[in-house]
Amino acid sequence: MMKNNPWDNIKKPSTDISINAILADTKNKLEFYWAKDTYDNLIFMLQTKQKTIIEHNIPKINGINISLRTINKDNQLILTLINNSDKDMFYTLCVDLLQSTKDLMDEILTVKTILKRLEKWQYFLKNNKSIIDKKQLQGLIGELYLIKKHLLQNFNVADTLNFWKAPLQSVQDFEIDNMAVEVKTKSSVNSITISSYEQLFTELDNLYLYVITINESSKNKENSFNVFDLIEEIRKLIRDENLLLVDNFNSLLLQYGFIELSEYEDLYFKIIADEFYLVEESFPRVLDVPVGVEKLTYKINLDSCKEFLINKNIFKSLGVDND
């Protein structure tokens, strides 16, 4: 649920051709408006004298009608929500457009940024993605941390991105040559949640658990970071090797369900530890699921798994250096 509905204070206009609107952000270079039409539809509108929005191929977004019109010398890009049941997602999209342009001073660049953001939302909603919550965000951070700390230090960018299977809805998060890696994050409680039976089984030669202990933190704490910091570090590593592959990485983030929203900016974390476990025959796990059981979720106490910890030399022999 949106905390403050900006459309609550807007009355439905009385004439068929009018729109009632209030300025959304007085500090933005462009004029953005929250608005309603005579059908009481929720509207987000951009008004500018730039012709860029008229000349550009405007993306089509599921659940949102996007139209263009010119009034006198002003060009308007109008986003109208089709179904009010989607108003939370619509509000999130609108705030994202505001946030992504708030520091831009060039009007043409601002318009182009808006159109680029709409293209990302087009992909996101076309594939019926859901925005990840805080718990899922920590899971993403765990996978990104593995990419940054271990994979990009030992494999080239193209291979590393190909190893990352979680955005493709694969059973395990990574498939690295002859082995699979499942990533789990936890707090100070020394247990992890297995959310499906298949997570601890693979047809590849080996299966490993990469467990990261991660705590919530704050911006001013030493070694704290948010997801944007981590993503930018990875993008830099990718750019240094192959600039063209940055778009591949960005596409994987979208497939994962991650859009760079402002609500993630204040979520800071701190990595306490990371460990690798070999999942072999005697590793504590559910070995069989009774007929009729469709979904199985259980916890594993890692205190009972110490014998399966992989030391540095063993893991390094597989091509990943566990420093």
Domain for residue 55, yes or no? Answer: yes
Same domain for 49 and 166, yes or no, is no
Same domain for 246 and 295, yes or no, is yes
Domain for residue 321, yes or no? Answer: no
Query: What pTM was estimated for this model as a whole?
Result: 0.72
CATH of the domain at 82: 3.30.1460
Counting Cα atoms < 13 Å in the Cβ hemisphere of 305 gives: 23
Same domain for 120 and 190, yes or no, is no
Both structure tokens of 303: 């205190």
**Angle 246-256/227-241 helices, nearest 10 degrees?**
150
Same domain for 109 and 248, yes or no, is no
Domain for residue 121, yes or no? Answer: yes
- Single-letter amino acid, residue 175: E
Name the domain boundary from 96, 126, 156: 126
Which pLDDT belongs to residue 1?
A: 43
Domain housing 251: 134-316
Domain for residue 13, yes or no? Answer: no
Same domain for 158 and 38, yes or no, is no
Same domain for 105 and 163, yes or no, is no
Which pLDDT belongs to residue 42?
A: 94
Same domain for 167 and 115, yes or no, is no
Over its length of 323 residues, how does the chain's per-residue pLDDT go in tens digits?
Answer: 455 689 988 988 887 667 899 999 888 878 899 999 988 899 999 888 877 666 667 788 888 998 888 888 888 889 999 988 788 788 888 888 888 888 787 778 887 888 888 888 887 777 656 678 888 899 999 999 999 999 988 889 999 999 999 988 889 999 998 899 999 999 988 999 999 889 999 999 999 999 999 999 999 999 999 999 999 999 999 999 998 898 889 888 888 888 777 778 889 999 999 999 999 999 999 988 888 888 889 999 999 999 999 865 554 655 555 55
Which pLDDT belongs to residue 304?
A: 95
Same domain for 150 and 272, yes or no, is yes
Domain for residue 40, yes or no? Answer: yes
Domain for residue 250, yes or no? Answer: yes
Domain for residue 7, yes or no? Answer: no
Which pLDDT belongs to residue 184?
A: 96
The number of residues making up the chain comes to 323
SS3 219: coil
Same domain for 307 and 188, yes or no, is yes
Long-range contacts at 302-311 (CB < 8 A, ≥ 24 apart): 302/186, 302/190, 302/191, 302/192, 302/211, 302/277, 303/190, 305/277, 308/277, 308/278, 308/279, 308/280, 308/283, 309/275, 309/276, 309/277, 310/208, 310/276, 310/277, 310/278
Name the domain boundary from 82, 103, 126: 126
Please give the tally of structural domains in the chain. 2
Same domain for 160 and 195, yes or no, is yes
Structural contact between residues 205 and 199, judged by C-beta atoms closer than 8 angstroms: no
Same domain for 152 and 239, yes or no, is yes
Domain for residue 91, yes or no? Answer: yes
Name the domain boundary from 97, 126, 155: 126
Same domain for 112 and 147, yes or no, is no
